[in-house]
Amino acid sequence: MITDADSEFHPRDPDDRTWTETMFLPFAIPDEGIFGNVYVLARPNVGIATSSILIGKGFCTQPYEIAFTDPQVHLPCPESFAKFTLGNGLSVNAPTPKEYDVSYENALGACSLDLSFRALHEPFDPGDPEQNPLLAADRSTGDRRHGDEWENGHFEVKGHITGNLELRGKKYEVDCYDGMDHSWGPRTETGTRSVAWVSVNFGPELAVHLAVLIDLRDGQVRYEKLRFGFVVENGEVHPVVDADIRAEHTQLLAINNHIRITDARGKEYEFFGTAISSHPWYNFNPSHVSYQGVFRYHWGDKVGYGEMADIYGLDYLAERMSSHGRARGLNA
């Protein structure tokens, strides 16, 4: 169960040099084809933090096409994870997991933002068996695609994001719905992870989050086992118990998808999505890449938006895609 204290750093073994806490806030300006990320990874036991600010516009298959990116490593770790300012110009104030105020000012003047996130519901804890009925089966597999990033403390929460963005002299208003998260625990970063992070949002009426294992076979992306997920319908949270995702890709970037889910009540939903902005995000983590984008979703006659990110460890990709990959050309 998530409490107000979970926006802060968590109790830890001070000798564990791998202990890591992260926060991630995506946002979108759909009419402009803009999708952005604010990310912080802190290692309080070694006194350092990493932060990546990225703003993509339209379709970018190469990193140099992305509108703005500012990855900073070896920043001094803040004393608090609930209220801090980093040396890259990022400030965060999060008195609870349901309230995040984020501002950023690039040192060269290329980008600034001021965002407010307010949750639509109580945060979802995938490590709580009362909230995640798939937990026991998920943790018993030993599948290396899980990685250890989501194996310990974690919460996901959907909310309303408002504010403003200035990008290379052009100003935009931000008014969107999406989900943010915070994770904590030991983290070895071995590069074997292969998971999808899927967000579907139709405002206060309906929002969905899914975490799904990915398999890459013969160059084709397959979405497999549901790790966890939830539906937020008018503020009430219901765990997802089954999900089926199909998508088409270009250079590992999803360009459209078809999602069907069933929640614990037996209620079924179906969504059709089309990417309106996508890019490879290499600089949030040196051992991983996130092929991510914001999608326009249709649910019946309603239109919504949300992120879809296929997150791969670079060793996972090398095993399947490089000239020395032992699983290269693996058929279904």
3-state helix, strand, coil in the chain (%, to 5): 10, 60, 30
- CA gap 219, 45 in Å, rounded: 39
pLDDT at 149: 54
pLDDT at 139: 55
pLDDT at 332: 38
- In whole numbers, what is the pLDDT of the chain averaged over residues? 93
Residue 315: pLDDT over 70: yes
Among 83-97, 209-223, 230-244, whose mean pLDDT is lowest?
Answer: 209-223
Percent of residues, the chain, with pLDDT higher than 70: 94
Tens of pLDDT along 175-228?
999 999 999 999 988 888 899 999 999 999 999 999 999 999 888 999 999 999
pLDDT at 331: 43
Question: How far is C-alpha 277 from the chain's CA centre?
Answer: 15
Give the mean model confidence (pLDDT) for residues 302-321. Answer: 95
Instruction: Strand 153-167: give its sheet, edge to edge.
Output: 68-76, 48-57, 34-43, 19-29, 170-186, 153-167, 111-119, 99-105, 90-96, 83-85
Tens of pLDDT along 148-165?
555 679 999 999 999 999
Residue 10: pLDDT over 60: yes
Q: Pick the residue with more confidence: 322 or 59?
A: 59
19 touches 12 (CB < 8 A)? yes
Give the mean model confidence (pLDDT) for residues 241-270. Answer: 97
pTM: 0.94
Long-range Cβ pairs for the range 47-51 (8 Å, 24+): 47/76, 47/77, 48/73, 48/74, 48/75, 48/76, 48/77, 49/75, 49/76, 49/77, 49/78, 49/86, 50/74, 50/75, 50/284, 50/285, 51/75, 51/86, 51/88, 51/90
Nearest-CA neighbor of 40 among 22, 58, 60? 22
- CA gap 313, 290 in Å, rounded: 9
User: Residue 253 in 3-state DSSP?
Assistant: strand
Per-residue pLDDT band at 173 (split at 50, 70, 90): very high
176 touches 34 (CB < 8 A)? no
pLDDT at 135: 84
Per-residue pLDDT band at 146 (split at 50, 70, 90): low
Tens of pLDDT along 99-121?
999 999 999 999 999 999 999 99
178 touches 306 (CB < 8 A)? yes
* Domain residue spans of the chain: 19-321
Tens of pLDDT along 34-83?
999 999 999 999 999 999 999 999 999 999 999 999 999 999 999 999 99
